[in-house]
Structure 1
Amino acid sequence: MSVAVLFATTFATTAKAECDPSFVDGDNTIRLIPPPSFSSDQLNETFQVRIRNAGDEPCLLRLGVGRRIADGSQQFPTYSLTGPDGNVPLSSLSGAPDTGSFGTEFVAPPGEQVVIAYEIRMDVGWGSEAGIFTEDLVFQLFDDRPGHPPIIRDARLMLEIPKMALIRFAGVSGIDGPALIEMGAISPHSVTQSPPFALRILSTSGYRMELVSDNGGALRRVNGPDLIPYELSLRGQRLELDGTSDGIEVNRHTSSLGDVHPVTVIIQPNPEYHAGDYSDRVFITVTAM
C-alpha cells in the first residue's frame, strides 16, 4: 500500500524597513559665548546636527536651515552661518523654507548617524550692548521620496553679553604701574593746572564713575605732614575726593571707541607752601550698571 504524505511549513518573514530618517535628540539651544573681556572681537562657535537612519536602506536627504524672524530678538547681532557647502544665505530666508531645493545633500547609510557641522561667526566687542539675545533657527530634513513631508527641528541661538567696563587713560605716563600725572613746579602766584589728560571708558551698559584719593583731594609732602589741596574736575564737574561725592553716571553703553572724559587738576596759588615733592593717589572705580 502506498501512502502519500504532504509536508507543509510556514516561513516567518520580517517586513523590510526602508529609509527611516530622523533627527537625533539633543540640546536645542546653541549658546554663544563672547571671549573674556573682549580679548578678541570675533566670536566663532561650532555646532552639529545629527541625523539617524533607522531603516535598512540608504537615505538620500537634504538638510536646509532658515530662521524664524518673528520668534527671535529683533536686536540679535548680525552673524554669518557656514555649513558643509559654504556660507548659508540666511538673509534670504525670512522663515522656514517649504522646498528641498536648497541646503546640504547627503546620504545616510542604513543604521548609522550622519553629523552635519555648522559654524557661526559674529563680531562681538566693545560697542555691543549687554543683554540676552535669542534667535530661532529651523532645520528641515527633506526626503527625495514622494509623499514624505520634511522633518522639522527648531534650534535656538542664545547670546549673552555681560555687563562689564574697562578704564583706559589718555595723556598720562606710567606703563607698568599706576597712571602718573606730572603737575610740574607749583607757582606761588598763579593757578597751576595739570597737562591735558582724560579717561576713556568702555562699557557694555550704563556705568558709574567714582573717584577717591588717599588724602581726600590734597597733595602730601613726601616724608612730611604738609598738604596742598587741589581741585579735580571730570567733564567740567568738580568732584570731592573724600568719598562723599555721588560720582558721575552715564545711562547708556559706549561705542566701540569708548567715552572720553577730560580731567583737569587745579592748584590755587599760595606763597606759604613749603618746598618739596608732593603726591596723592587717586582710585578710580567704574561700575557697569
Structure 2
Amino acid sequence: MKLIVGLLLAALTFAGVRASACSSMGLILAQPAPYFQTGGTMKDTFNVTVFGNTTQGTCNYFLTFDYGSSNSYTNRSVKKGSDVWPYQISADNAGLQILKKFPDVNSCSDVICDKLQGSTFYNTKTSSYTVAFDTANDWRSAGTYLDTVTVRLYQGNISNYTLVASQAFLLTFGSPKKADLSVVSSGGAFDLSKTTHTINFGNNLTTGAQGTADVIVKYNSGYNLYAWSDNGGKLKQVNGTDTIDYTFKINGTTYAIPWWTQIATQTGTSPASGLVNPVTIIIGNTSGKAQGSYSDTINLTIQSSQ
C-alpha cells in the first residue's frame, strides 16, 4: 500500500516538471503610446515581443487584444466625451485578420499565435499588429480622442491556456480644427479644388435676372463664413464706368457685402458631404445702363468658430 502511494507521488512530480517547460514569460510593447492625427498618420504597424525561459523546451502562446472602452471588436473607437472616432486592430496590414479577446476567440485567426522554442534561458519572439483609423469621414468633431487597449499573453493553445501577463497601451488621436469651402454649380458636390465659380448671365443681363450657385462648407469645430465684393456690391462695366446694383442672397437671406460681412455661421460639425449654402444673385435696374460686359468678384473666407 505504501509502495502504491509512492508511485503516485512520483508520477505527479514528473508531470509538474513537464508543465513548466516555459517559464518567466512576459511581453513588451514597442510603442506603448501611439499617436494618430487627421492630415497625418491614420494607420501604423507596431511590434509586440514575447519573452520567456525555454530551457525546459518549446512552449506555445497567443496574444489577445481587448476592445478598450467599446463593447465589441466591431465598434472599437477612441472617445472624446460623447464623440467617437472608429479604429480597428488587426494582425495584418490589410486589416483582414481582426484581433479579438475572449469570448470572441475561436481560432488563431482571431489572435496572434506563435511559439517560443529552443533551449535558452532568455528567448524572444516578435510579432506585429496594425492600428488603422477610419478615413471615411475626417470631419468629426475637433479635439483629442483617447482609448486604452489591453494586450493579454496566454501560454498554451486556444482550447487549453493560462493567462501569464498583460500590458496596456494608450491610443491618442488628434483632430485639429479645420474648415474648408467649395463653390460649385447649384446641385454640385463638394470639391476642394473648386474655390472659384462664375455665374454667367450671358446676354440676359436684364432687370430681375437671377443666377445661382452653391457654397458648400465642411467644418469640425463650427464655422463663420464672410463675404465682400471688389466693387462694393455692384457690377461694374468692363472698360467703362457704369455700374449695376445686384442683390446677394445666401440661404434665402439678403446681405449687403460692400465690405467684410459675416453671411453664415454654425456650430458643431458638418455632414461628411458638407453643408450646402445656396446663393442667389438678382440683377437690379439696368435701365439706361451702357451696353457692354459687367462683372464683380465676391470673395469668401471661412474660419472655425469654436
TM bucket normalised to smaller = 0.7 to 0.9
Which secondary structure does the structure 1 equivalent of 2:291 belong to?
Answer: coil
1:186 partner amino acid: L
Distance 2:114 2:218 in 1: 47
TM-score by length of 2: 0.71
Distance 1:129 1:72 in 2: 12
Distance 1:105 1:242, change over 3 A: same
Asked if structure 2 preserves the Cα contact closer than 8 Å seen for 1:210 and 1:286, the reply is: yes
TM-score by length of 1: 0.75
Alignment match, 1:28: 32
Give the one of 229, 233, 237 matched to 1:221. Answer: 237
Deviation at 1:20, TM superposition (A): 2.8
Asked if structure 2 preserves the Cα contact closer than 8 Å seen for 1:212 and 1:282, the reply is: yes
2:240 partner amino acid: G
1:61 partner amino acid: Y
Alignment match, 1:39: none
Indicate yes or no: 2:115 matched with 1:116: no
Give the one of 141, 144, 150 matched to 1:132. Answer: 144
Indicate yes or no: 2:155 matched with 1:143: yes
Q: Deviations over 1:85-119 (max 9, x none)?
A: 922246967xxx9xxxx733311344343222112
Mind listing any 5+ residue stretches in structure 1 that lack a counterpart? Answer: 1-16, 37-41
Indicate yes or no: 2:192 matched with 1:193: no
Indicate yes or no: 2:304 matched with 1:275: no
Deviation at 1:25, TM superposition (A): 5.8
Q: Over aligned residue pairs, what C-alpha RMSD do you find?
A: 3.5
Alignment match, 1:11: none
Distance 1:26 1:68, change over 3 A: same
Indicate yes or no: 2:298 matched with 1:287: no
Deviation at 1:200, TM superposition (A): 1.4
Alignment match, 2:49: 50
Mind listing any 5+ residue stretches in structure 2 that lack a counterpart? Answer: 1-20, 71-76
Asked if structure 2 preserves the Cα contact closer than 8 Å seen for 1:186 and 1:192, the reply is: yes
Distance 1:77 1:27, change over 3 A: same
Give the one of 170, 175, 179 matched to 1:161. Answer: 175
Deviation at 1:249, TM superposition (A): 0.8
Asked if structure 1 preserves the Cα contact closer than 8 Å seen for 2:83 and 2:141, the reply is: no
Distance 2:228 2:102 in 1: 50
Distance 1:186 1:147, change over 3 A: closer
Asked if structure 2 preserves the Cα contact closer than 8 Å seen for 1:169 and 1:198, the reply is: yes
Asked if structure 1 preserves the Cα contact closer than 8 Å seen for 2:183 and 2:196, the reply is: no
Give the one of 198, 201, 208 matched to 1:180. Answer: 198
Alignment match, 1:260: 276
Distance 1:91 1:168 in 2: 47
Asked if structure 2 preserves the Cα contact closer than 8 Å seen for 1:53 and 1:112, the reply is: yes
Q: Deviations over 1:179-223 (max 9, x none)?
A: 111123322xx42221x3211112223111111121121112112
Give the one of 142, 148, 152 matched to 2:166. Answer: 152
Distance 1:138 1:259, change over 3 A: same
In the comparison of the two structures, how many residue pairs are matched? 258
Which secondary structure does the structure 2 equivalent of 1:21 belong to?
Answer: strand
Deviation at 1:161, TM superposition (A): 1.9
Alignment match, 1:66: 66
Indicate yes or no: 2:60 matched with 1:80: no
Q: Deviations over 1:7-52 (max 9, x none)?
A: xxxxxxxxxx96332223643112233346xxxxx94332222223
Distance 1:202 1:147, change over 3 A: closer
Deviation at 1:258, TM superposition (A): 1.2
Which secondary structure does the structure 2 equivalent of 1:76 belong to?
Answer: strand
Which structure's CA Rg is the greater one?
1
2:179 partner amino acid: A
Alignment match, 1:9: none
